[in-house]
Chains A and B, each alone.
Chain A
Amino acid sequence: MSVKFVVGYDGSQASEGAIRFAIAQAKSCNAVLVVAHVLEWSPYSFLTPTEIEERHKRRNEELKRAEQALIGPLIAKIKSEHAEVESVIRYGNIVDTLMSISADCGADQIFIGRTGHSSLSTRVFGSVAGSLAQHADVPVTIVP
């Protein structure tokens, strides 16, 4: 079985850095790269009736936008220099979802940028990279 690396990508500069670093690592040991994009989502948030009605439509639009604007071009770019690459787009809590993606594909390592699109709450409650390092079952490389 080949080695698998999961890289968290959200379009931020730090995640670009994580991608570059992961490609370099993957090349050296011929690993498969799994680019993971997580759309922040909580099933316990509150929606208005109109939002509920349009949710499925919006979800399709969001997935399409993430695929076309973010992940599609990135995968094409990576393929030009490193053939072995896959992508996953999922909804959920970023840390939990990255861990479940890595568990699902049997990843050997997770790469993540140190600061993604951080908000005030991440400053208060801790960053994605920090929580991931604490909770993941596989080694986590935090790229500055």
Chain B
Amino acid sequence: MQKQGIYKIITNVPLTKSVYKMVLEGDTSNITAPGQFINIELAGKFLRRPISICDWNETTITVIYKVVGEGTRQMAGMKEGEELDILVGLGNGFNTNIDKMKHPLLVGGGVGVPPMYGLAKKLLAEGKRPTMIMGFNTAEEVFYYEEFVALGLDVFVTTVDGTGGTKGFVTDAMEQNGILYDYLYCCGPEPMLKALHRGVMTGGQLSFEERMGCGFGACMGCSCKTLTGYKRICKDGPVMYKEEITFE
């Protein structure tokens, strides 16, 4: 159930040159699954900014966002103690109740990495043995490697220019390290989603991004076509099952 509330910033720090981590304090009772997102109202902006949830507990929500425009630049300039009007618990999130899944593969690209953190925690708590691959353009952009390692799972890093981890794309790391898995979870840029959708034989879930109007399913601003009908990325997604996805 989605809800609106006022949240207080308790941390807002850069992780890389353009990626920030913000911890917000407030009601988290309506977050039901990793992969959900929050929609943040900003002064002087008409539309809210949808940001995926990285992690949450009883009293705080952690989001990691990249400065890509005016709104996120404004967020990066905000200080501890400032308050934000936020819609929380949006989207479906990842389903971890998958029959016979034991070794899920988690793939995150850039700011597609954060939702994988909450997902990894949930999968571990449910006794699964996940492996994480994180893909970036260059070593300077890498964030949250240690945090994933600290969860106690195997973590592989790839960079397109080879300055960190395996050189190339996440699919190169999958091949070169001979990673075994029986299910796929992925969040990242569309070329990554396409490559995995085409190349991975197991079942899986992919998380999508789109420019949104409301973020809660009313405006049909972020619709997409799937093999099971038209879906709203904000409400029926952002997570879609691999079997229903089409890139046509």
Q: Do A and B bind each other?
A: no
**A residues neighboring B (CB under 8 Å):** none
**B residues neighboring A (CB under 8 Å):** none
